[in-house]
Structure formats: C-alpha cells, structure tokens
Amino acid sequence: MTQKELVLSLKNVSKVYQLGKVELVALKGIDLDIHRGDFVTIMGPSGSGKSTLLNLIGCLDSPTKGKVFLKGKDISLMSESQLSQFRGKTIGFVFQEFNLLPQLNALENVALPMVFQEVSQEKRRKKARNS
C-alpha cells in the first residue's frame, strides 16, 4: 500500500490570546496530520477552539507555540506577502457568511482573488466566467 501525501501537519500547536492582563488559552498542544484524500470534521461546543484552529490551518493566524506545515512548508517562516500568495494558491474557503463587494458585479467578485495572485485580466475573466 502506498503512503498518501501529508498535506497538513500541526505539531504541538497552541494559541493564547492576551486580553489585557488575562491570558485566554484557545488551543493547547494540538497534534494533527491530514493526508491527501482524508475527510476530516472539526466538531465541538462553542468556544472550544474550532474557529481558532481553522484560522491557523487557513494561514489567517499564527500559533503562539508549535508549528503548522502545509504541503510540507512551515507557514511560520513565511512573510505576510508570501502567506497571502501561498494561501491564495493552496487554500479554498467557504464562509458561513459570504461577503461580496457591493460595488462589484458577480463576475468581478469571482475574479477578485485572482488579482492578488497576479493573474492577467484576460485569464481572470475567462476563469470567472467558467466558475
């Protein structure tokens, strides 16, 4: 049996928020490996750290402690610009609440993320029409 590609790995990940003089521990010592083709569900009660975990996995936040590897790359070593590029090419988000820009039409809203990936206007338009 061939081993599936490891696409996400969290090693001893913790996230602590500083709220004035109070420390709020959102995640503590999380280890997680997800391989290509795995189906994963993150469940738990309100306040258990689900959104915090997804923000770390989605490169929207950094852990206070530990490492997050996405496709073999340590995201903590990336600059904001590199993270933005990597996130745009590697991760897809489906938000509970969609946030379209009202000043753009539907096609322009679909094409907008490709602007940040430096995709040409012609290719953006073509891909957006096919979406």
Which whole-number Å values give the CA distances from 117 to 38, 40, 120, 124, in the listed order? Answer: 27, 28, 9, 10
- Report whether 75 contacts 83 (CB < 8 A): yes
Instruction: Report the CATH number that the domain containing residue 66 is assigned in CATH.
Output: 3.40.50.300
Say which residue, 42 or 116, is predicted with more confidence: 42
Domain count across the chain: 1
What whole-number distance in Å separates Cα of residue 97 and Cα of residue 126?
26
Q: How many CB atoms lie within 10 A of CB 68?
A: 23
Residue 79's pLDDT is what?
Answer: 87
State pLDDT tens for residues 76-126. Answer: 888 888 888 888 788 877 666 677 888 988 888 888 878 777 788 888 888
Looking at the DSSP bridge assignments, the partners of residue 11 are 67
For residue 81, is it within any domain?
A: no
Which domain covers residue 64, as residue numbers? 6-76
Q: Which 3-state string (H, E, C) describes 50-95?
A: HHHHHHHHCCCCCCCEEEEEECCEEHHHCCHHHHHHHHHHHCCCCC
3-state secondary structure (DSSP) of residue 3: coil
Region 2-14 average pLDDT: 92
For residue 84, is it within any domain?
A: no
